[in-house]
Structure 1
Amino acid sequence: MMTQMKGLYVVAQTPFAADGALDLASIDTLTDFYLGHGAAGLTVLGVAGEAAKLSETESVDAVRRFVARAQGKPVIAGVSNPSVAQLATLTQAVTDAGASGVMIAPPPGLRTEEDVIGYYGAVFDRIGDVPTVLQDFPFSTGVWMSVPTMVRLVERFPQIQAIKEEDIPSAAKITRLREAMPRHVPILTGNNAVFLPQELERGIEGPMAGFSHPEMLSGVYDLYSRGQRDAAFDLFNLYLPLLNFENQAQWGVAVRKEILRRRGAIASAVMRAPGPRLSPLDLKDIDYLLERLQRALAQRSL
Structure 2
Amino acid sequence: MSKTEPYTPQGVIPACLMPFDADFKVNEAAYRAHLQDLLSVKGITGIAINGHAAEVHALTIEEQHRAVVVTKEELQDKVATVTGIHTDSSLEAGKLAAYARKEGADCLLVFPPNFMTLGGHMRPEMITQHLQRITDACDLPIILFQFPIPSNLSYPLSTLISLCERFPQIRAIKDMIGDGNQHEQQIRELKALDNPVKTITTHSAWLIGSLALGAEGILSGAGSVIADLQVALFRAMQANDLAAASAINDRIYPTVRAFYDAPLLDMHNRMKEALVILGKMNEAHVRPPLMKPTPSEIEKIGRMMADAGLTASNVYRNAP
Q: Taking structure 2 as the reference length, what is the TM-score of the superposition? A: 0.84
Structure 1 match to 2:30: 26
Structure 1 stretch displaced more, 221-230 or 176-185: 176-185
1: CA distance, partners of 2:174 / 2:104 = 21
Structure 2 match to 1:96: 102
Contact map agreement 1:113 1:145 (CA 8 A) in 2: no
Structure 1, unaligned runs of 5 or more: none
Report the Cα offset of residue 115 of structure 1: 3.1
Aligned residues: 299
Structure 1 match to 2:218: 207
1: CA distance, partners of 2:246 / 2:36 = 27
Q: Does 1:143 align with 2:153?
A: yes
Structure 2 match to 1:66: 71
Report the Cα offset of residue 190 of structure 1: 0.9
Report the Cα offset of residue 97 of structure 1: 2.1
Structure 1 match to 2:289: 274
Map 1:12-161 onto structure 2 (within 5 A): 12-38=16-42, 39-72=44-77, 73-107=79-113, 108=116, 109=118, 110-112=120-122, 114-116=124-126, 118-120=128-130, 122-124=132-134, 126-139=136-149, 141-161=151-171
Report the Cα offset of residue 34 of structure 1: 1.2
Structure 2, unaligned runs of 5 or more: none
Contact map agreement 2:101 2:138 (CA 8 A) in 1: no
Q: Does 1:229 align with 2:224?
A: no
| Counterparts in 2 of 1:170 and 1:266: CA distance versus 1, 3 Å | farther
2: CA distance, partners of 1:166 / 1:196 = 11
Q: Does 1:263 align with 2:278?
A: yes
Structure 1 match to 2:184: 174
Report the Cα offset of residue 155 of structure 1: 1.0
Indicate which of 257, 280, 286 corresponds to 1:244.
257
Report the Cα offset of residue 58 of structure 1: 0.9
2: CA distance, partners of 1:132 / 1:223 = 27
1:234 is paired with a residue whose SS is: helix
Structure 2: which amino acid aligns with 1:69? E
Q: Taking structure 1 as the reference length, what is the TM-score of the superposition? A: 0.89
Over aligned residue pairs, what C-alpha RMSD do you find? 2.6
Contact map agreement 2:49 2:83 (CA 8 A) in 1: yes
2: CA distance, partners of 1:236 / 1:226 = 15
2: CA distance, partners of 1:289 / 1:174 = 30
Contact map agreement 2:221 2:268 (CA 8 A) in 1: no
Report the Cα offset of residue 147 of structure 1: 2.0
2:220 is paired with a residue whose SS is: coil
1:34-75 superposed Cα distances (whole Å, 9 cap, x missing partner) = 122342211111122100111111111112111211141101
Structure 2: which amino acid aligns with 1:174? E
| Counterparts in 2 of 1:27 and 1:79: CA distance versus 1, 3 Å | same
1:134 is paired with a residue whose SS is: strand
1:48 is paired with a residue whose SS is: helix
| Counterparts in 2 of 1:184 and 1:69: CA distance versus 1, 3 Å | same
1: CA distance, partners of 2:186 / 2:305 = 38
| Counterparts in 2 of 1:132 and 1:205: CA distance versus 1, 3 Å | same
Contact map agreement 1:75 1:100 (CA 8 A) in 2: yes
1:155-195 superposed Cα distances (whole Å, 9 cap, x missing partner) = 1111212111110214642344423433222210113x112
